[in-house]
């Protein structure tokens, strides 16, 4: 009995030590010698995105938003049940809770093992932390923008009015700009592609499909989803820079380009799951 109690205390000690270390590594001062180059490069990219997509958002508000929502089927059309299911794959709460659950599983498992297996799980945990924060950060920014802008969703007030604003009103009816689903979908797409570049076409397709569902369901105007994509990508870029500056999952090349460090492969994860030691 005493032996089991000692083992339990030892496990929880390692669990909380791992939890503490995972937090400390995120908030420690940046250490990468090339972080200044990465900052300048990221700032240039962000400015180009804001200028280009900002102009597109304004153009869409004046030229397309009203026309597009008039072409969509009425809100609540029964035959769109499958679109309502599909759109939930971009729901912020669902994505964040899924990533949080995966982080919890990895944390619990990593406190119970040692050696190569533990190192592998901690590497997975770092990448899950990145994905979680890359979605959470722009989501919080988007929520503030929704409240401040207060743009009415399509046909709120009974008319197809792309300029129906009630700033700081709060509530779902005036939470159209920017689209939260587009924000989350593009943040997740950017983050996953940053870690695993070969997935970029699949993740881009995922994000575009989520944006399309928001338009078909009359949840947003076209300019809302473009704005959501903009906030999501820039927010995920900022989180990637934060991780790279601390040498977490990313490295910075001489020209300031941020690249993913080699991570746990699918084959190594399978070996661990089968109980075999990693290579």
279/276 Cα distance (integer angstroms):
9
- Residue 8's pLDDT band, with cuts at 50, 70 and 90, is low
> Can you read off the two tokens belonging to residue 171?
């509530």
- Residue 20's pLDDT band, with cuts at 50, 70 and 90, is confident
- Structural domain contains residue 230: yes
Provide the whole-model pTM.
0.90
- Is 70 exceeded by the pLDDT of residue 170? yes
32/66 Cα distance (integer angstroms):
48
- Residue 146's pLDDT band, with cuts at 50, 70 and 90, is very high
- Structural domain contains residue 45: yes
What's the pLDDT at 279? 36
Is the peptide bond prior to 68 cis by the omega test (within 30 degrees of 0)? no
- Is 50 exceeded by the pLDDT of residue 277? no
Task: Over range 232-256, report the average pLDDT.
Answer: 95
- Structural domain contains residue 278: no
Task: Over range 45-66, report the average pLDDT.
Answer: 96
Residue 249 region by backbone torsions, left for phi larger than 0, else alpha for psi between -120 and 50, else beta: left
- Structural domain contains residue 256: yes
- Structural domain contains residue 139: yes
Q: State what percent of residues in the chain have pLDDT above 70.
A: 90
- Is 60 exceeded by the pLDDT of residue 254? yes
Query: Where in the sequence is the domain holding 46, given as residue range(s)?
Result: 31-273
CB 278 within 8 A of CB 114: no
What's the pLDDT at 275? 55
**CA 41 from centre of chain:** 21
- Written in H, E and C, the secondary structure of the chain is CHHHHHHHHHHHHHHHHHHHHHHHHHHCCCCCCCHHHHHHHHHHHHHHHHHHHHHHHHHHHHHCHHHHHHHCCCCCCHHHHHHHHHHHHHCHHHHHHHHHHHHHHHHHHHCCCCHHHHHHHHHHHHHHHHHHHHHHHHHHHHHHHHHHHCECCCCCCCCCCCCCECCCCCCHHHCCCCCHHHHHHHHHHHHHHHHCHHHHHHHHHHHHHHHHHHHHCCCCCHHHHHHHHHHHHHHHHHHHHHHHHCCCCEEECCCCCEEECCCCCHHHHHHHHCCCCCC
CB 100 within 8 A of CB 136: no
Task: Over range 95-108, report the average pLDDT.
Answer: 94
Distances (CA, A) of 59 to 75, 174, 207: 25, 21, 22
- Is 80 exceeded by the pLDDT of residue 21? no
Q: State what percent of residues in the chain have pLDDT above 90.
A: 71
88/20 Cα distance (integer angstroms):
33
pLDDT in tens, 22-38: 788 888 888 888 888 99
Report the mean per-residue pLDDT for the chain: 89
- Residue 10's pLDDT band, with cuts at 50, 70 and 90, is low
pLDDT in tens, 56-86: 999 999 999 999 999 999 998 999 999 999 9
Number of structural domains (the chain) is: 1
- Structural domain contains residue 183: yes
- Structural domain contains residue 21: no
Task: Tell which residue, 177, 184, 182, has the closest CA to residue 145.
Answer: 177
- Is 80 exceeded by the pLDDT of residue 167? yes
Half-sphere exposure of 82 (CA within 13 A, CB side): 2
What's the pLDDT at 278? 41
What's the pLDDT at 240? 97
What's the pLDDT at 126? 93
- Structural domain contains residue 124: yes
- Is 90 exceeded by the pLDDT of residue 108? no
């Amino acid at each position: 009995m005493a032996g089991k109690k000692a083992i339990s205390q030892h496990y929880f000690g390692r669990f909380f030590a791992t939890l503490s270390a995972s937090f400390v590594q995120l908030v420690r001062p940046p250490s990468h010698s090339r972080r200044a180059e990465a900052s300048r490069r990221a700032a240039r990219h962000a400015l180009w995105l804001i200028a280009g997509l900002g102009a597109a958002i304004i153009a869409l508000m004046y030229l397309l938003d009203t026309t597009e929502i008039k072409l969509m089927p009425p809100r609540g059309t029964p035959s769109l049940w499958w679109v309502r299911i599909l759109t939930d794959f971009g729901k912020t709460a669902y994505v964040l809770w899924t990533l949080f659950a995966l982080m919890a599983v990895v944390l619990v498992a990593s406190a119970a093992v040692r050696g190569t297996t533990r190192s592998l799980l901690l590497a997975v945990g770092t990448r899950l932390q990145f994905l979680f924060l890359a979605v959470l950060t722009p989501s919080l920014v988007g929520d503030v923008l929704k409240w401040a802008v207060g743009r009415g969703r399509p046909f709120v007030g009974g008319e197809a009015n792309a300029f129906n604003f009630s700033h700081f009103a709060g509530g779902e009816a005036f939470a159209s700009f920017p689209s939260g689903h587009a924000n989350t979908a593009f943040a997740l797409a950017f983050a996953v592609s940053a870690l695993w570049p070969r997935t970029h076409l699949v993740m881009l397709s995922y994000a575009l499909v989520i944006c399309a569902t928001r338009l078909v369901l009359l949840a947003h105007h076209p300019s809302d989803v473009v704005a959501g994509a903009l906030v999501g990508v820039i927010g995920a870029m900022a989180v990637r820079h934060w991780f790279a500056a601390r040498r977490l999952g990313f490295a910075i090349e001489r020209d300031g380009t941020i690249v993913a460090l080699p991570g746990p492969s699918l084959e190594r994860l399978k070996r661990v799951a089968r109980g075999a030691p990693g290579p």
